[in-house]
Amino acid sequence: MTSVLRLASAICCLWLCSVVCVVQSGSRDTDDAIWLLESKMMATSNSSSQLLMVPLTLIQGAASKGAVCLDGTLPGYHLHRGFGSGANRWLIQLEGGGWCNTRRNCIFRKTTRRGSSNHMEKVLAFTGILSNKANENPDFYNWNRVKLRYCDGASFTGDSEDQSSQLYYRGQRIWQVAMEELLSKGMQKADQALLSGCSAGGLASILHCDKFKELLPGTTKVKCLSDAGMFMDAVDVSGGHSLRNMFQGVVTVQNLQKELSTTCTKHLDPTSCFFPQNLVSEIKTPMFLLNAAYDAWQVQESLAPPSADRSGSWKACKSDHSHCNSSQIQFFQDFRSQMVSAVKSFSASTHNGLFINSCFAHCQSERQDTWFAPDSPRLYGKTVAESVGDWYFDRKTVKSIDCPYPCDKTCHDLTF
């Protein structure tokens, strides 16, 4: 089993590296490489009888409500039914996959699974927090588990269109019709529910957390989990703001201003209100933040993207932190400090939870090796799965923040 987990991690690393390359170069050759790597991931999944493969369901009534992917195709989800004590419990996992911040990016995205259900996998492996095995997912294995596919390019928030380019920015409507469908399939009877998401989906779980609670009966226990969704408004290695520039493009292209938190936009600009650090403290529903302090995606795309590293002096370091010099490590330490500072107010709430480990990782709830396995990352002796479970079921208060790198020897770091 350990070798299988390591293989999956290696494939995940290759996939993330390729995604980074696409954002950096936009090259069709690199995009073809991503398609090949993802095909290999699916082939590896299908070759293992250990993995639960769950079929894609398209939301048939969505088009009449304008709830469509970037290219106008139907949105979809994967649902595996709960059983036993979990029959009336629901876990909704919002898929991640970056954003499109220019019309050109969004047009290309229509040709991928991130913008069209025509290109989505017909089956997906459910692992980590979606696993149906008690020895892999002790607290949620028998819940109704759903993965909502991501095809709008703005973390399920847009509600506009670009007729000249035939682009449909309808993430908000996709969210609404998906929730309506799941409510009709039994979620309205849920006694417990968890809205979760990874990366762009982790940001979406923050943006939609309170709305999710409002959909369900007042007697339902509702909480939210954001995995790798704590994207920081940080300065890059050149002194610029690469991620802010990207988010500003997303907000502008998809006209998100009217969809963002009005509490936030009353005192901050719309782009700032797409950053979680300006949102998490105002969320009323209990929330858990799971994040690597040196988030691998942010290292690649926010802190040291090629546009900020013209000389290439950060290339080796950002690919493998063991190649960083002392000043580069200090730059990462400053980023960690900014993240820890950003969650102080959030952490003060007794209802909220934290697991911030000093790893160079990304999306630790979806990978089996980082969610719950013999050698999984741990804080205070607890795995990610155990920590999330303790918090959700109120077994313990979980406010786990790791000591700075390199003290944690349990990390499953990503290298490129």
CATH fold group of domain 52-401: Rossmann fold (3.40.50)
Q: pLDDT per residue over 74-122, tens digit each?
A: 999 999 999 999 999 999 999 999 999 999 999 999 999 999 999 999 9
Confidence of residue 54 (pLDDT cuts 50, 70, 90): very high
Which range, of 17-21, 25-29, 136-140, averages the lowest pLDDT? 25-29
- Give the pLDDT mean for 305-319: 97
Within the chain, how many helices (H) and strands (E) appear? 13, 14
Cis peptide leading into residue 406 (ω within 30°) = yes
Which pLDDT score is estimated for 50?
84
Which pLDDT score is estimated for 39?
37
Which pLDDT score is estimated for 41?
33
> Does residue 68 have a pLDDT over 70?
yes
**Nearest-10 Cα torsion for 165, 166, 171, 177:** 170
Distance, in Å, from the CA atom of 72 to the CA atom of 280, rounded to the nearest integer, reads 32
Which pLDDT score is estimated for 416?
87
> Does residue 7 have a pLDDT over 80?
no
Q: Domain locations in the chain?
A: 52-401
Beta strand 89-94 pairing with 160-162: unpaired
> For residues 356 and 289, is the Cβ–Cβ distance under 8 A?
yes
> For residues 232 and 293, is the Cβ–Cβ distance under 8 A?
no
Give the Å distances, CA to CA, from 401 to 290, 295, 354, 382: 10, 14, 7, 12
Q: What's the pTM?
A: 0.91
Q: Which residues are catalytic?
A: 199, 295, 362
- Give the pLDDT mean for 285-292: 99
